[in-house]
Chain A
Amino acid sequence: MPRLLRYVLRRIGLALVTLAGVVVFVFLLTHILPSNPAALRAGPLANAELIRKYEREMGLDQPLYVQFTRYAGEILSGNLGESWKTGQPVLKELGDRLPATLELAATAFAMALIIGVLLGVLAAVYAGTWIDQGVRLYATLGAAQALFWLALLCVHVFYYSLGWAPAPLDRLTIGVPEPPLVTGLFTVDSLLAGQFHTLLDALNHLWLPALVLAFVVSAPIVKMTRGSMLDTLNSDFVRTARAIGVSRRSVVVGDGLRNAFIPILTMIGIVFGYLIAGNVVVEKVFSWAGIGQYAWNALTINDFNAVQGFVILIAVIYVGINLAIDLAYGFIDPRIRLG
């Protein structure tokens, strides 16, 4: 199937071009925009000698194209440089913190998917009624929400007032030992090690930030599900199915949901955008030691190597997800597969 092959190759090519562009863009950002990165790194109290030392160390005394080839070479070989603050490789520091972010983001995504699809289907089935109105209000509020404020509100209600959630300080209560490292996900690791006390504690810390994040992330899912479900329910084949006596419920669940899922799949990219941006904010409110917290820490102290590492990691994941969606779509959709 040469058509499909051409489609796949073209998509992969475009993704690679985009990633190359990302590297150039990030290089320009971190090497051109600040008037002197070495001075920034050295801090406001540094003398000229320290700044010159940093300039030599960072290769800033070289011509720009030399700097760029060196920079691109390093990144291609998987080296994101060292953090200016800790001296540790940025890739390792990001890797250490990625599981915390993944645990939060994956939980939030699962919650958002359940909430979003349920509400979206409800709104479509009861289109025009107060249920529909309510769900649409929910989606509007979720799509235009000050997440940092909502997170504070939830902490106030569930921690300060009700006491249902623990203090918003990282992933485990102080004194509870981390489970032996396997995946880095505390819930999974504690389960593997059979430490049920730790598992409970990890879950206890996880549910509130994940729920806050899920509210915002579910908004686009609700809108999309409602829309595509409505389209499906109004389509000829559903009307025919109803006419020949198929029950309403099996039409909604069997035909409607299955056909509504494809458009939902295609918007996972958008959802990921919401998820990662929201993650940064939620990690701040809940002192969650993930890559979002790492990024804003690095930004506030001008640790540009760490910042660019984070930004490139996000871009790689984002482009990768969109590529995967495009490819999956190519295989699913006969219009693309057969051209």
Chain B
Amino acid sequence: MASIPSFRVSPVRVRRRSLWQRGLRAVGRWRLLSFGVLLILLYLAVALIGPEVAPYEPNATHPQSTLEAPSSGFLLGTDKFGRDIYSRVLYATRLDLSIAFSVAVSAFLVGSIIGALSGYYGGIVDDVVMRVVDVLLAFPAFILAMALTGILGDTVPNVVMAISVAYVPYFIRLTRGEMLRVRTLQYADAAVGVGNPRWRVVLVHLLPNALTPAFIQLTLVLGWAILDAAGLAFLGLGITPPTAEWGVMVAEGAQRIITGEWWTWLFPGLAIVIIAFGFSIVGDGLRDLLAREER
């Protein structure tokens, strides 16, 4: 998108609004975005206090009440071992959100630093980086994460690593593209001119101004990472039973699909879908918001 030069009015006429006022206005204008933020905050709260408020331990079995439909005793029913699904869904929130944030943040950090250096220095470094990116993008992200998890082995850190690797190329491309734009600005030359080493100019002066697209992508990847981790667990890869994790729970519930105990898979899946929706509308909302601010 071509950037249009903005003409500031004289400082006297700018009406200063407090951060709070601007926040309120933003809520009014970006209802969907605020709704998404609210959803994310709710999930963060559950991740924080979920284990305290859960009625049962996640792996406590109740042999007398297996596969019970939702009732006052077991809010969301029980699974085939008589474990309380409500408690397990609450407990899983912390794990699933940790995975999402670890994936998104590590892919963001690694990808944008590589992308920034590659875009700034250009030449053979850039060529090599872009060919590696091409190779990684020769696989759909989920397929790459699937193969990596299968080969690395079924542990939570391996799942995080596998999904991160699958998303790093997206961050490299985005930041590199921005860097190509930013490095031609005059202040880049000025920063070098006053004696900064080049790596410092890239990482300290230029990178912050090249991060907007990667930052939007970060929000989207948060949602995708949850979907991917849960999807892998559903296929029996990565996170394995009896861990209380949404994808694992859906996979265990899927065995009841023919016999119709819907609560075993419906609720853990809803937990995934709602937060994925939340991250997605926040990502889309941020894109609109930041794109408009640039004008």
Using CB atoms and an 8 Å cutoff, list the residues of chain A in contact with chain B. Answer: 14, 17-19, 21-22, 24-25, 29-30, 33-34, 140-141, 143-149, 152-153, 155-156, 160, 167-168, 272-274, 276-277, 280-281, 284-285, 295-296, 299-300, 302, 304, 307, 311, 314-315, 318-319
Contact = CB atoms under 8 A, between A and B. Distances in A.
> Chain B contact residues: over half helix, strand or loop, or mixed?
helix
B101 interface: no
Nearest to B153: A34
B38 interface: no
> Chain A contact residues: over half helix, strand or loop, or mixed?
helix
Interface of B: 131-132, 134-136, 138-143, 146-152, 223-224, 227, 230-231, 234-237, 247, 250-251, 253-254, 257-258, 260, 262, 265-266, 269-270, 272-273, 276-277, 279-281, 284
7 contacts: A17-B134, A22-B138, A160-B260, A276-B140, A296-B146, A307-B150, A311-B147
B131 A307 contact: no
Given A21-B134, A149-B265, A299 B234 contact: no
A153 B264 CA distance: 12
Contacts of A272: 140
A314 B139 contact: yes
Contacts of A141: 277
Contacts, number: 137
Contact of B146 (A17, A34, A168, A295): A295
A160 B146 contact: no
A204 to B, nearest CB: 17
Nearest to A146: B272
A299 B234 CA distance: 13
B151 A30 contact: yes
A34 B151 CA distance: 6
A306 B273 CA distance: 32
B231 A281 contact: yes
Contacts of B281: 140
B291 to A, nearest CB: 13
Contact of B152 (A33, A144, A146): A33
Contact of B234 (A145, A148, A274): A148
A168 B273 contact: no
B132 A21 contact: yes
